[in-house]
């Protein structure tokens, strides 16, 4: 991946290329930020830039033999470690090498993906980890001399999935790496990275992506500008969220939301339980997208009802429906509804039991909607 394929972050790209030009390449770096901000793509582009034999000031060349191999994520001096677990075909101890083909496909084709997307791609329904067996593999890989490049680079995705044993096993290597070895850690939750690792790295923090950069990346020549900008604005700088908001900007979320509110208004408990039971079928990312959508609908309907000066951002169909529904979103319940939805988003993100979360949510909304 080249820097020009990384969405946004122009300032950060400049900083990173400048450190290479000045020969200030730190041997252990930690890229921290949400997956949707692009922390992994930035690390990949940086690694390709360091290894490129014909780089210019702003980017790797994209055509030298090193870049060609990097584009396929198949360079002999580029190594990866990421969380995995056992599957029907992969028995314990599972290590990254078992899943390297799926990994290459993910980083070269999907490019922006969440931890959950990764587990779905390799067919595990439990959390992955970076085990002490993986740590042994890393040590043996980095103890070889580099084959082609000046640097051997190890990209370790999600160090928060290492346990103390594997982190301890790697300490010496991180502290005194063999010459010309780079460790690039990529974390989504820097607070959960063991301090023994965290304190030995130079940190590079990623901020949310600029809305306009997200909108440009989403443009496909077919989707309306209005839809694209709405998705970009609601995503809060997270490209994965924006992409999935756009995908479900279709009627799916609207229909689910209308049904939920109708059942809640009619105090139809059996209907609400059934509604909640169907939600887990969507998978984590779409459940989260639905909840973000629901938050937005609550907010827009409140604005409409209160006739506030702020503009309500509603599509035509949403607006027609909201003319009546908005009367039920008022000062008494808007804060509570918002809080409930927000809690559900957090719980879904933390892998909570979706059926329980949505049942609880639906019943709470029933109590709030006619206040």
What is the contact surface with Zn ion in residues (CB under 5 A)? 52, 60-61, 64, 67
CB nearer to Zn ion: pick between 138 and 184: 184
Determine the Cα–Cα distance for residues 152 and 36; give it in Å rounded to an integer.
Answer: 27
Nearer to Zn ion, 67 or 365 (CB): 67
Indicate the residue among 108 and 190 with the shorter CB distance to Zn ion: 108
C-beta of 151 vs 229, nearer to Zn ion: 151
Compute CA 122 distance to the chain's CA centroid, rounded to the nearest angstrom.
17
Q: Which is nearer to Zn ion, 62 or 280 (CB)?
A: 62
Backbone φ and ψ for 155, nearest 5 degrees, come out as -100, 115
Query: Smallest distance, Å, CB 47 to Zn ion?
Result: 12
Longest Cα separation, the chain: 70
Identity of the residue, 48 or 131, whose beta carbon is nearer to Zn ion in the bound complex: 48
* DSSP type of residue 313: -
Buried b (16+ CB within 10 A) or exposed e, 201-225: beebebebbebebbbebbeeeeeee
Nearer to Zn ion, 74 or 356 (CB): 74
Helix boundaries (H) for 143-224? 164-175, 195-198, 211-218
Angle between helices 225-234 and 239-247 (to 10 degrees): 140
| Closest distance to Zn ion from the beta carbon of 49 (Å) | 8
The DSSP H or E segment spanning 81 is strand 78-81
Shortest spacing between CB 9 and Zn ion, in angstroms: 20
Q: Taking the complex as a whole, how short is the minimal distance between the CB of residue 345 and Zn ion, in angstroms?
A: 41
User: Shortest gap between Cβ of 204 and Zn ion (angstroms)?
Assistant: 22
Choose between 2 and 301: whose C-beta lies nearer to Zn ion: 2
What's phi and psi for 184, nearest 5 deg? -115, 110
Min. distance of Cβ 54 from Zn ion in angstroms?
5
Provide, rounded to whole angstroms, the least separation between the CB of residue 62 and Zn ion. 6
The rounded distance, in Å, linking the Cα atoms of 62 and 53 is: 10
Question: What minimum distance in Å lies between the beta carbon of 15 and Zn ion?
Answer: 20
Collapsed DSSP state (helix, strand, coil) of residue 121: helix
- Cβ contacts of 76-79, under 8 Å, gap ≥ 24: 76/147, 76/148, 77/51, 77/146, 77/147, 77/148, 77/149, 77/151, 77/152, 77/153, 78/47, 78/51, 78/153, 78/155, 79/138, 79/141, 79/142, 79/152, 79/153, 79/154, 79/155
Assess contact for 341 and 327: CB atoms under 8 A: no
Closest CB 53 distance from Zn ion, rounded Å: 6
Count, residues in the chain = 371
The nearer residue to Zn ion, 55 or 284, going by C-beta atoms, is: 55
Under a CB-based contact definition with an 8 Å cutoff, are residues 166 and 131 in contact?
A: yes
Nearest CA-CA partner of 295 in 361, 246, 247:
361
């Amino acid at each position: 991946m080249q820097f020009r394929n990384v969405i946004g972050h122009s300032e950060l790209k400049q900083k990173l290329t400048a450190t290479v030009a000045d020969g200030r390449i730190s041997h252990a770096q930690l890229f921290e930020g949400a997956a949707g901000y692009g922390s992994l793509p930035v690390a990949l582009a940086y690694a390709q830039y360091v290894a490129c034999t014909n780089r210019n000031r702003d980017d790797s060349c994209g055509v030298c033999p090193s870049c060609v191999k990097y584009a396929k994520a198949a360079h002999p001096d580029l190594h990866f470690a990421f969380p995995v677990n056992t599957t029907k075909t992969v028995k314990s101890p599972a290590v990254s090498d078992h899943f390297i083909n799926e990994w290459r496909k993910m980083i070269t084709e999907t490019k922006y993906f969440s931890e959950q997307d990764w587990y779905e791609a390799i067919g595990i329904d439990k959390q992955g980890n970076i085990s002490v067996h993986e740590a042994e593999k890393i040590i043996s890989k980095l103890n070889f001399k580099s084959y082609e490049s000046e640097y051997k680079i190890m990209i370790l995705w999600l160090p928060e999935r290492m346990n103390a044993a594997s982190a301890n096993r790697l300490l010496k290597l991180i502290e005194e790496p063999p010459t010309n070895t780079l460790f690039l850690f990529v974390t989504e939750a820097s607070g959960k990275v063991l301090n023994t690792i965290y304190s030995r790295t130079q940190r590079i923090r990623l901020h949310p992506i600029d809305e306009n950069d997200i909108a440009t990346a989403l443009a496909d020549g077919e989707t309306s500008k209005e839809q694209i900008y709405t998705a970009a604005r609601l995503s809060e700088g997270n490209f994965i969220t924006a992409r999935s908001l756009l995908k479900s900007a279709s009627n799916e979320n609207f229909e689910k939301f209308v049904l939920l509110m109708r059942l809640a208004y009619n105090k139809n408990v059996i209907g609400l339980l059934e509604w909640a039971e169907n939600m887990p079928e969507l998978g984590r990312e779409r459940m989260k997208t639905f909840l973000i959508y629901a938050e937005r609908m609550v907010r827009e309907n409140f604005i409409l009802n209160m006739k506030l000066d702020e503009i309500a951002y509603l599509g035509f169909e949403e607006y027609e429906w909201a003319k009546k529904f908005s009367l039920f979103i008022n000062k008494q319940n808007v804060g509570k509804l918002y809080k409930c939805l927000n809690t559900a988003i957090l719980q879904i993100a933390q892998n909570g039991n979706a059926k329980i979360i949505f049942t609880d949510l639906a019943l709470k909304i029933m109590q709030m909607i006619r206040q």
